[in-house]
Structure 1
Amino acid sequence: MATVAQQSKLSSILWPVAAWSIGLIFFFPIFWLVFTSLKTDQDAVNPEHLFFFTPTLDNYTNMTQNYDYWKFAMNSVITSGFATLFALIVGVPAAYAMAFDPSRHTKDILMWMLSTKMLPAAAVLYPMTFLTKNTLGIFDTHFLVILVLCLVNLPIVIWMLFTYFKEIPKEIIEAGKMDGVSTWGEIKDILIPLAWGGIASTALLTFIFCWNEAYWTVRLTTFNASTLSTLIEGNRAPEGLFFGRLSAVSTAAIAPIVVLGWFCQKQLVAGLTFGAVK
C-alpha cells in the first residue's frame, strides 16, 4: 500500500510538471515573437542585446502608420469569414447527403476529395495566375481569394462534417421523414441543432486555416485584396529580413486568432471530440 501511495504521489507531481513543460515549449515561440517585436531592427540582430535592450513600440507605430495594417487586417477578416461561410454552405448539405443517403461511390468520392489536398500548389500556380489575370480579369480581388480559400478547405470541411454527422443516429432523420419534414427542414431543424458543436468547431478551424493561408494570398494578390500574410511577406528586402518589424507584424497577425481560440477553446474541444476525428 505504501508503494502504491508513493507512486500515486509521484505521478501527481510528474504529470503536472510534464504538462507545464510541454505547454511552455509550445508557448515559447509566441513569447519570443512578442519579445523581439519590442526591439529595433538593429537590436534584433545584435547578440549583445539578446535579453537586455530598451523596449520600443516603434515597430507597431510604423506598422499602423506606414503599412496600413488595418486595410490588410480587414481583407483577412473579409476573405476568411466569407470563405468559411461559403465552405459551410456547400459542406453541410454535401456531408448530410454522404452521411444519411450514401451510395456505393461515397467512400470513393471522399477519398478523391481528400486526395486533392496532396496536389502541390506550385503545380497549378502558373495556370491559375494566367487564367485569373489574363482571361477572367479577377486577379487581386476579394472574390478570387474567397473562392480559392473556400475550395482549398472544402475537402477538410466535408470530411469533418461527415464524421460528425455519422455520430447522429440515422433513426432521428428517418423519424423526421416519416413526419413529413422536407430535406431542408431536416438539415435546419434536426441536423444543425444536434451537430452544432461539430459545425462550430469546423467553422473555427476553417477560419484559422483561411486566416493563416499564405501561399495563395501572397501570389494571387498585389494590394487591393492583400491579407496580413502579404504584409508579413513585405518585410523582406534584398539586404535581409527586418526582424523587429517582421515580429511586430506577425504578432499583430496572430493575435486575433490566439484570442479567438482562447475564448472558443471549450467549443473547439467539444466539437473535435464529438465525431470520429479525435
Structure 2
Amino acid sequence: MTATADAPTAAATSLPAARRRPLAGPQRGARRRGAALGLLAWLVGLLFFLPAAWMVLTSLHSEQDAATNPPSLGASLTWDGYRTFFGADGGASPWPSLVNSLTASVCSTLLVLVLALPAAYALSLRPVRKWTDVLFFFLSTKMLPVVAGLLPIYLFAKNVDMLDNIWLLVILYTSMNLPIAVWMMQSFLADIPVAIIEAAQIDGAPLRTILARVVAPVAGPGIAATSLICFIFSWNEMLFARVLTGVRAQTAPVFLTSFITSQGLFLAKVCAASVVISLPVLAAGFAAQDKLVQGLSLGAVK
C-alpha cells in the first residue's frame, strides 16, 4: 500500500523537474538565431527610417542651423520652413501643384485599373495562346529608358498643342503604369477559382457584371496593391512633368525644385516641402497597408 500510494506522488514531483530541464542544444541555437534575426530586422528598419526622421528634423530647423556641418541636433525648432512652403512669406502657393499631382495620379490610376482588369482577366482566366509572350511584351515596354522617348513625346505634345496640359500627364502616366499593372493583376487573378466565374456565367451574368461583382471583390487586395503602386509611381514622376509642363500643369515634385535656386540650396525649406509632398503617399500606404500586404502575398503560398 505504501509503495502504491507513493508512486503517483513521485511521478507528480518529477514532472515539474522535467519541465525545468534546460533546453537542448538545437533549441537554444534556434532561439539565439531568432533573436539575432529579430535584432537585425530592427537595425535594418531603423536604417531605412533614419533618413526620413532626419528630413523631418531638418525641416523644423532654421536655415542657419540646417546648414551647419556637422548638423546640430539640439538646435531650436521652428515652423518657418513650412510657412515658406505654403506661401506665408509672399511666395508662390503650392496648392495648384498639389492639386495637379493629385489629379494626374488619381485619374491615371483609375484609367489603369479600367484597362488592366479586363486585360489581366483575359490573360489569367481565359486561355490565350502564347500568353507568356504577351506578358513579356508588356514588360519589355518598361525596358526603354524614359529619357529616350522624351523628345518624340515633346514634339508630339507641341504639335497637338498639349504642352502644359495636365491631361497629357494623365495619358502618359496611364501608358507608363499599364504594363506593370497588367503583369501584377494577372498573377492575382490567376488565383481566383474558375468555378466562381462559371457559376456566374451559368446564371447569365454578362462579362461586365462578372468583372465588377465577381472578379473585383475577390481580387480586392491585389487591385488595392496595384492601385497603390501606380499612384506612387505617378505621384513621384518628375522628368515628364518637368519638361512638358510650365505653370498651369506644374506638379508637386516640379514645385519642389523651385527651392533650389541660383542663390543656393535652402535645405530647411526643401525638407519641409519634401515632408508635405510625401504625406499623401504615406497616408495612402497607411490606409491600405493591410490590403497591400495581402495583395503582394497572393500566390506566395499554394
Of 19, 22, 25, which residue of structure 2 is paired with 1:3? Answer: 25
Instruction: Find out whether 1:219 has 2:280 as its counterpart.
Output: no
Tell me the distance in 1 between the aligned counterparts of 2:30 and 2:131.
49
Which amino acid in the other structure matches residue 267 of structure 1? K
Instruction: Find out whether 1:82 has 2:104 as its counterpart.
Output: no
Could you tell me how far 1:106 is from its partner in structure 2? 2.3
Which amino acid in the other structure matches residue 95 of structure 1? A
Tell me the distance in 1 between the aligned counterparts of 2:76 and 2:283.
27
Q: Deviations over 1:147-177 (max 9, x none)?
A: 1111110001111111101111223222322
Q: Report the equivalent of 1:33.
A: 55
Q: Report the equivalent of 1:159.
A: 183
Instruction: Find out whether 1:20 has 2:42 as its counterpart.
Output: yes
Q: Report the equivalent of 1:91.
A: 116
Higher relative contact order (CA 8 A, sep 6+): 1
Q: Deviations over 1:85-122 (max 9, x none)?
A: 01101111111111122322422221111111111111
Tell me the distance in 1 between the aligned counterparts of 2:171 and 2:48.
33
Which amino acid in the other structure matches residue 72 of structure 2? L
Of 267, 270, 277, which residue of structure 2 is paired with 1:253? Answer: 277
Could you tell me how far 1:40 is from its partner in structure 2? 2.7
TM-score, structure 1 length as denominator? 0.93
Which amino acid in the other structure matches residue 141 of structure 2? T
Q: Report the equivalent of 2:68.
A: 46
Instruction: Find out whether 1:129 has 2:154 as its counterpart.
Output: yes
Q: Which moved more, 1:35-44 or 1:147-156?
A: 35-44
Q: Report the equivalent of 2:211.
A: 187
Instruction: Find out whether 1:175 has 2:195 as its counterpart.
Output: no
CA RMSD of aligned residues (A): 1.8
Of 88, 107, 116, which residue of structure 1 is paired with 2:132? Answer: 107
Tell me the distance in 1 between the aligned counterparts of 2:165 and 2:92.
19
Question: 2:86 aligns to what SS in structure 1?
Answer: helix
Aligned residues: 276
Q: Report the equivalent of 2:96.
A: 71
Q: Deviations over 1:158-217 (max 9, x none)?
A: 111111011112232223223322111211221111111111111111111111112222
CA contact (8 A) 1:37 1:246 kept: yes
Could you tell me how far 1:10 is from its partner in structure 2? 2.4
CA contact (8 A) 1:87 1:154 kept: yes
CA contact (8 A) 1:164 1:276 kept: no
Which amino acid in the other structure matches residue 60 of structure 1? Y
Q: Report the equivalent of 2:19.
A: none
Name structure 2 gaps, 5 residues minimum: 1-22
Aligned identity (percent) is 34
Q: Report the equivalent of 1:146.
A: 170
CA contact (8 A) 2:122 2:128 kept: no
Q: Which moved more, 1:119-128 or 1:65-74?
A: 65-74
Tell me the distance in 2 between the aligned counterparts of 1:55 and 1:227.
29
Question: 1:47 aligns to what SS in structure 2?
Answer: coil
Q: Which moved more, 1:3-12 or 1:97-106?
A: 3-12
Tell me the distance in 2 between the aligned counterparts of 1:100 and 1:155.
18
Tell me the distance in 2 between the aligned counterparts of 1:105 and 1:224.
45
Which amino acid in the other structure matches residue 80 of structure 1? S
Which amino acid in the other structure matches residue 77 of structure 1? L
Which amino acid in the other structure matches residue 249 of structure 1? A
Which amino acid in the other structure matches residue 133 of structure 2? D
Of 119, 122, 132, which residue of structure 1 is paired with 2:144? Answer: 119
TM-score, structure 2 length as denominator? 0.86
Tell me the distance in 2 between the aligned counterparts of 1:100 and 1:59.
52
Q: Which moved more, 1:58-67 or 1:11-20?
A: 11-20
Could you tell me how far 1:32 is from its partner in structure 2? 0.9
Tell me the distance in 2 between the aligned counterparts of 1:205 and 1:123.
23
Of 61, 71, 78, which residue of structure 1 is paired with 2:83? Answer: 61
Question: 1:55 aligns to what SS in structure 2?
Answer: coil
